[in-house]
A = this chain, B = another copy of it.
């Protein structure tokens, strides 16, 4: 029991660090920083493509995102489009180049998932899902002052 505890603890920490590091390397497209890739990712997945909504999702100010979008526009990954209904609002759209990056990122996640469940039986997979949901649920509801 105590052993399980420290093992889970240990693996969570090292796994987390590994993923952070590897994500940076795996997605290391020349001319794109990891920050920029996350912006591209957010734009590709966004329901609401407005700059303010994206900024909230990314937990940065609209000012920061505006600068970042300008850079990515210049690099050919994003483009701005004014809304007709509300001419203050601007939707951010991915270009083909951005969608390619997004595909790469998805492949990364798929590989990770494959690795996680490859050696598990279906019953074991169900347990994994349960455990992961426990952790996620915990953090989703926890209040941090």
Residues on A facing B (Cβ under 8 Å): 1, 4-5, 7-9, 11-16, 18-19, 21-22, 25-26, 59, 109-110, 112-113, 115-120, 122, 124-140, 142, 144
* Chain A contact surface mostly: helix
B59 touches A117 (CB 8 A): no
Find chain B residues with CB under 8 A from A9 CB.
109-110, 112-113
Within the complex, the shortest CB–CB distance from A67 to chain B, in Å, comes to: 20
B113 touches A15 (CB 8 A): no
B127 touches A14 (CB 8 A): no
Contact of A132 among B5, B8, B59, B109 (CB under 8 A): B8
Copy count, this protein chain: 2
B115 touches A135 (CB 8 A): yes
With contacts A15-B136, A115-B135, A135-B112 taken as known, whether A128 is within 8 angstroms of B8 at the C-beta atoms is yes
A116 CA to B110 CA, complexed, in Å: 22
User: What is the chain B residue whose CB lies nearest that of A59?
Assistant: B21
